Homo-oligomer: A and B are copies of this chain.
Amino acid sequence: MYNSYVNDMERRPGDQISALLHAAGTVHSRLEAALAEVGLSLAKLLALQQLVDAGGSLPLGQLADRLACVKSNVTQLVDRLEADGLVARMFDPKDRRTRLASITVNGQAAFERGRQAREQAERDVLQGLSPENIAQLSDLLAKLARP
Q: Contact check, B123 vs A13: say whether CB atoms are below 8 A apart.
A: yes
- Chain A positions within 8 Å of B, measured between CB atoms, are 4-5, 8-9, 11, 13-17, 19-28, 31, 118-119, 122-123, 125-126, 128-129, 131-147
Point out the residues of chain B lying under 8 angstroms from A140, CB to CB.
129, 133, 136-137, 140
Point out the residues of chain B lying under 8 angstroms from A133, CB to CB.
140, 143
Point out the residues of chain B lying under 8 angstroms from A139, CB to CB.
4-5
Q: Is the interface of A mostly helix, strand, loop or mixed?
A: helix
Q: Contact check, A17 vs B136: say whether CB atoms are below 8 A apart.
A: no
Query: Bound state CA distance, A145 and B17, in angstroms?
Result: 14
Q: Contact check, A134 vs B26: say whether CB atoms are below 8 A apart.
A: no
